[in-house]
Structure 1
Amino acid sequence: MEESEWLQDVLRFSIKDSSYTINADEPHPNPRVRKLVEGIVFSRRFILTYHAIILGIILVLSATHWTNKLIRWRRRRTTKLLLLGAESEYDGDAKTVTPYPGMDEITIGEIEGSSSSGSSTLEGTLSPPQKDLDSSEETPLLHQGHVLQPLYPRRTIISLIRAYLMYQPRPTPIFKKVLPSNGTSLALLAFVGLNVFYMFFHINFTMFETFVLADRFGLLFVANLPYLYILAAKNQPLKFLMGQSYESLNLIHRRLGELLCLDALLHFGGMVVAWYEIIRPNGFGLIRFLLLKMTFLGLVAFISYELLYFTSLASFRQRWYELFLGFHIILQVVALVFVFFHHSAARPYVGVSLAIFLIDRLVYRIGAKSTTVEAKATIMEDDETVKLSTNITIQHPRRYPGILGKPITAGWLATDHIFITIP
């Protein structure tokens, strides 16, 4: 039973000593256990850099968004001041009007002299001006001292890259799945690639260290839980900080949820492989392994999240939306509770996720911005679309903090969205 004893020691170590102040240099009588302990300690410390990268990306995107917003505001302000200045120039006498830069060769005196020299338009050298120059349909009728810029934008490398990122490909031919824009797809691939890197970095791919790999999968799962819930929040700060729409952030939420379900599956599978290769030969059966307190709690959480994934598929969600909504709330609560008791390292992440969920549901959606109106429901010609018609009275405008959003009675802009609940 030596093998089962040292693995149980590692399991106890992983559960009890989940803080980041573990000293991996403490001697252990079994060098095999020491090697696994070092792998677990490294994963605990390594995962902190993942949060630093994610928060850094959010900070950069937020700074870029607000910088561009400030630049646009300054451009609008400058344009407005120029227009106000141009209007003030025409308030005085006509002879005091400041000529345009293009009228350097044609002074105001020449214009007055030519207009008073006689009624004939054949005299003088100003009609037509610069007649010897080649002209085309793009030549301005009135002379200007500078060349007019073309109305169409110039194609540059930056404009081509922006066009490619904005392009939305056609739906997939077999599954008819609507694809996001190329920019969104590349961002999702980069995010998945970052998670794959954190899955396998500094991992020895041996059967002996399968437990360390499975532990890494589980740790990465709980580390992503707060991001999963902040992306699912109906009123979230990321929309305000980065200027992204709710639909865009919800797309990332769905892909992240799928990735977490894969992490949970790999974590469970890795633990089963560790049992099969190391513990089973010493008489430690599968049922006994699954009925361990830690394993059983994790198994219930794993089943809850996998059911949450299957009930969130578009085919299920579109056909039984009410059932999907009920499962989505119940299963995530059950899963969070069992993950909390499954491993002490998961408790800080579960606490943050639960706080995000409660604040979004209780404070924002119920107290801060809910509005009750009467609406008329009409089924459209396709027998699938339901149109809701109501009259919204725009109340006296108030200043709502951008991070909290605003109620529908305050008005709406393009890309705004609302959530409808029918009692």
Structure 2
Amino acid sequence: MIVKSPSNTARDGQHRVLEMIARGAALQDILDSLMRLIEAQSEDVLCSLMLLDDDGRTVHPGAGPSLPPAFLAALDGLTIGPCAGSCGTAIHRGETVIVTDILSDPLWADYHALAVPHGLRACWSTPIYGDGQRILGSFAMYYRAPKAPGEDDLCLPGIATHLAAIAIERARRESELALHRDHLQALVEARTAALSQAQEELVRRDRLAALGALVAGVAHELNTPIGNSLIAATCLADKTRALAGSVEGGLRRSQLARFFAQADEAGQILARNLQRAARLVASFKQVAVDPGNSERRAFMLCELLAELLPPLRVLARQRGVVIETDIAPGLAMDSYPGPLAEALTHLVDNCLVHAFADTADGAIVIRAAPAIDASVRISVSDNGAGIAPPLAPRVYDPFVTTRPGAGGSGLGLHVVHNIVSGVLGGRIELDSALGKGSTFRLTLPAIAGA
């Protein structure tokens, strides 16, 4: 509510000050405007506003646009008390203090030397109360001659202190909110940094765990062919030494024939197991797909599939499986055709080895169509055995296979996942039902990221 003022001009001025407060104007500008408003209501008055410091004992100038700057500077840091001029005493007492003659009033005994050189002889000061009757500062009216307040003068401090309290409280609340925002921002940044560090640590642990699992899998997979090769080589060496000993005592034809047969068998075992080890090593190399070693270029997806499918169809026919396609025309991509072809080959091989292991016929359907956000959706579906639900979440893990010992390394889908997510910048999803087949869906950007 606006305090009653002696004129319409004062009321208009109050509204202007309130508008400044509502707009969030700077406190200094609001207080300066308020001082000028009061000065315009009385002749020869010079107004000031002192703000109580956080220590509750000292004050500093908040506004005084018409007072000499040197005088205001001298009041900065003034300690309130029972005889601390008009302003310091008003704040100390919590009531209005009227000093009609600065030169003779005992309240100014220690301070009149600050005011009189600037021609200031009278000072009336009123404390400014905020919420909860907390004193925020004081409002003062100075005159250049000794003067006692008249009836019209007594309403002006009420106007000034009322509007000043609103402005000061609002500014302090905004300052407190800003401090809270800064504190919350600092907390958020600290928590974010902690979460990021924790996430990096989890990723590092996951990578180390994955590396450990991969190394263990490599050792396990290579152990069998290497062990078989070692046994065959050791056996062949023993047979060779025995044959050498028989030569000195006379070698029969039957012994030589038996040695040749055993040597041939050992050689076949060595060849099979070393070839198996070589295939495993080749599979392991594919796990770490490096896009830097892949050629990026623009290509038509239908042309890539036209080159890729003929040899796959030959393998499929040998197993009684038909490969069908449904490719939308005009699908252009700027990506890595080599890794994409490798991923599709692994998916088709996965169907042939696992989906149709126990059936003489079946179908694989490869579809491709444009998707939203300038991406391409490619799917490889089969109507084979499907994947058991407990196994589905682990199909991309290394060495996970439904047919251990059947010739696969269990790395095919792991390689596919690495290619799709790492090189091609897309994602892969699985939809499978046991006994009803599986569908792998690849969502790839038509233009690969840099």
Q: Fold match, TM over 0.5?
A: no
Tell which has more relative contact order, 1 or 2 (C-alpha 8 A, sep 6+): 1
If you compute each CA radius of gyration, which structure gives the higher value, 1 or 2?
2
TM-score, normalised via structure 1 length: 0.25
The structure where helix makes up a greater share of residues is 1
The structure where strand makes up a greater share of residues is 2
TM-score, normalised via structure 2 length: 0.24
